[in-house]
Structure 1
Amino acid sequence: MSRGDEWIAVAADSVARQVMGRVVVCAGTDLVDVDDIRALLARQPRFADRHFTPGERAYCLLQRDPAERFAVRFAAKEAVLKALGTGLTGVALREIEVVRRHSGQPALALAGRAAALAAAAGVHSWMITLTHSRHLAYAFVAGVGQPS
């Protein structure tokens, strides 16, 4: 097992423990190449403005390597789209925001059509895990239903 495979397995195990005993109504995962995002940011300066909220951009641009943070947030957005079953054209990516709780734990905030689709799917809250290296960014999300 490669080093990258190991950290993906640890992240998946962490989420699996968090969802035990909860009603998961949808789930999605995505893996992004950080170098691809780095190239997009360099080639298309408006890429970040079009796909990330002001809060996400501010957080990412404070980091030593913003591409890693942008990539993992892009992976999270794609994972949400997969969970909702919309595909990449179903929702504007800025309607899905990765926010940080006071503890530093990531969370999701959905707006507009993304929020409406999640509500229609019965999603009451989201669980999210993010991890990245210099080369890969991985996200897993689970839409959790209302407790019965």
Structure 2
Amino acid sequence: MAVGVDLVEVARVRSLLEDNPAAETELFTTREIRYCADKRNRYARLAARFAAKEAALKALGTGVGPGMRWTDVEVVNDPLGRPRLRLHGTAAQAAGAPGSWSAELSLTHTGDYAMAQAVLLLPPAADEPAVRRTATDEGSPCASI
């Protein structure tokens, strides 16, 4: 399991997009732009999606590095309106084979801030032990906490 969290100032996202209109298509997919276009609080919704991308990339442990594009991480909504992650390109490769990972995503925003938390259940890495010790395991110095 991997967790990523990100907090974004809505005003910074708004300023970036107003000062550089081309940034919108560098950061967001057509589907994300379309979803936010007709909504109240457009910039807060875009900021929440940007935070979700950051949170997902933190959980993947990749960040936006070589070959990774912001649009490789997409926020879509399921039929009930819940936000979901859809990974493309390098992000999809980092997550593993299709069907081998799952994710939960939570978004929230106010007038000033947008936040996202991504929880990814990823397949274990080849060099990762199958069982991990936790603080509650017997013999752990933290077991009594």
Sort the TM-score into its range (normalised by shorter chain).
0.7 to 0.9
Give distance in 2, aligned partners of 1:61 and 1:137. Answer: 17
Report the Cα offset of residue 81 of structure 1.
1.0
The ranges of structure 1 where at least 4 consecutive aligned residues each deviate by more than 6 angstroms after the TM superposition are none
- Contact preservation (8 Å) 1:128, 1:140: yes
Aligned to 1:104: 81
Instruction: Name the CA distance, whole Å, in 1 between partners of 2:5 and 2:96.
Output: 20
- Shift of residue 123 of structure 1? 5.6
Instruction: Identify which of 88, 99, 103 aligns with 2:64.
Output: 88
User: CA contact under 8 A between 1:108 and 1:126: conserved in structure 2?
Assistant: yes
Query: Does residue 10 of structure 2 align to residue 39 of structure 1?
Result: no
**Identity, % of aligned pairs?**
41
Matched with 1:11 is none
Q: Which amino acid aligns with 2:30?
A: P
Larger Rg: 2
RMSD over aligned Cα atoms: 1.9
- Other-structure match for 2:51: 75
Query: Aligned to 1:52, which of 28, 47, 52?
Result: 28
Aligned twin of 1:135? 112
1:18 counterpart residue number = none
Task: Judge conservation of contact 1:27–1:82 (CA < 8 Å) in 2.
Answer: yes
Give the structure with the higher percent helix.
1
Aligned 1:15-34 pairs, distance under 5 A: 24=1, 26-34=2-10
User: Following the alignment from structure 1 to structure 2, what is the Cα–Cα distance between the partners of residues 65 and 28?
Assistant: 24
1:115 maps to 92
Which protein, 1 or 2, shows the higher relative CO under an 8 Å CA cutoff with sep ≥ 6?
1
Q: Which residue of 79, 101, 104 maps to 1:124?
A: 101
Q: Please give the alpha-carbon distance, in whole angstroms, between the structure 2 residues aligned to 1:76 and 1:70.
A: 10
Aligned partners of 2:100, 2:51: CA distance in 1, in Å? 19
Q: State the one-letter code of the partner of 1:134.
A: G
Q: CA deviation at 1:65?
A: 2.4
AA in 2 matched with 1:45: P
Q: Give the Å deviation of 1:35.
A: 0.4
CA contact (8 A) 1:75 1:138 kept: yes
Number of residue pairs aligned between Structure 1 and Structure 2: 122
